[in-house]
Amino acid sequence: MEKNYTITFACYNQLDYTKKFIASLDRDEVDFSRIVAVDNGSTDGTREWLGQQGFGAVVLNDRNLGCGAAWNQGALAIQSKWTVVMNNDVVCAKGWLHNLLTSAEKNDLQIASPAMVEGELDYDFADWAAKAQAKMRGYIRQGSPHAVCMAIRDDVWTEIGYFMPVTKLLGYEDAIFFQRALEAELKTGTTADSWLHHYGMTTQKALKLEMKLDQRDSLGNRNLMKLYMNQTWFARKIARYQRRKLLKVARLYELDSFHMSVHALNLQPDRNWEWV
């Protein structure tokens, strides 16, 4: 694959998840010199381990700067046509990167995300992903990227800028970024040609706990929402309703066409799948 990409992720402890993520990367597909890891002050051995992996860059912050600042650091450390910003609590299917970028190029997407399963990894993900990819090959859920993993084309930074590096926005930096993308009419989507498994926001939960953030400190607070999103609480409620309506239409189409969707939940313990 042409070296036109950078992969970056932020860490805060949770070393076991980071190890599983990196172990899932096929070195024949992913050039580790194109990976940038950003650590937000881990104390569990993560920092030392990152330095032993042969990544292109490891950024070690003395304190927790939040996700927005860390993502920006990763994007700027090694600049390329595509910056893949992702969580460290994921496992990637074979061919995920090639398929993600190929689909984005083919469909002229400026922000592209892979399809995903969320929940416990107690099933054969490799087999599941291969079958899902074959069944939904070529399909794009238009206008629905997600922050678990997003490939961002370099012209996006020029169009709408980088992530807002405000620590109290933890968990909402992506919402502001996607809102700006929507307002700029950027072409975005989730592709069924690429799949990953997501355990479920483990690093962000750890960061919130460490920072002692609660609802009053988050974007859910009406004053913060108006300040950082230039959007009133009521306007955000309307936008959320419209988004959910569009997602419902997309999900129904996918279920009717493929009997599955690009976002699956692995429900426990009875092995039922929920499509979102």
CA–CA dist 7, 25 (Å, integer): 11
For residue 3, what are the CA distances in angstroms to 18, 39, 69, 205, 243? 23, 24, 25, 33, 35
Please indicate, yes or no, if residue 142 is contained in any of the structural domains.
yes
Please indicate, yes or no, if residue 245 is contained in any of the structural domains.
no
Banded pLDDT at 75 (limits 50, 70, 90): very high
The alpha carbons of the chain give a radius of gyration, in whole angstroms, of 18
Which residue range(s) make up the domain with 53? 5-214
CA–CA dist 55, 140 (Å, integer): 31
Banded pLDDT at 241 (limits 50, 70, 90): low
Task: Determine contact, residues 11/51, Cβ cutoff 8 Å.
Answer: no
Please indicate, yes or no, if residue 163 is contained in any of the structural domains.
yes
Please indicate, yes or no, if residue 262 is contained in any of the structural domains.
no
Please indicate, yes or no, if residue 73 is contained in any of the structural domains.
yes
Please indicate, yes or no, if residue 226 is contained in any of the structural domains.
no
pLDDT tens digits, residue range 85-112? 999 999 999 999 999 999 999 999 999 9
Task: Determine contact, residues 8/84, Cβ cutoff 8 Å.
Answer: yes
Please indicate, yes or no, if residue 174 is contained in any of the structural domains.
yes
- Interstrand relation of 35-39 and 5-11 (parallel, antiparallel or unpaired): parallel
- The single-letter code of the amino acid at 118 is E
CATH number, domain containing residue 45 = 3.90.550.10
pLDDT tens digits, residue range 116-134? 999 999 999 999 999 999 9
Domain count, the chain: 1
pLDDT tens digits, residue range 34-74? 999 999 999 999 999 999 999 999 999 999 998 999 999 99
* pLDDT average, residue stretch 258-274: 84
Please indicate, yes or no, if residue 221 is contained in any of the structural domains.
no
Query: What does pTM read for this prediction?
Result: 0.88
- Interstrand relation of 188-198 and 149-153 (parallel, antiparallel or unpaired): unpaired
Q: What is the DSSP string of 5-71?
A: EEEEEEESS-HHHHHHHHHTS-TTT--GGGEEEEESS--SSHHHHHTTS--SEEEE-SS--HHHHHH
pLDDT value of position 82: 98
CA–CA dist 28, 95 (Å, integer): 10
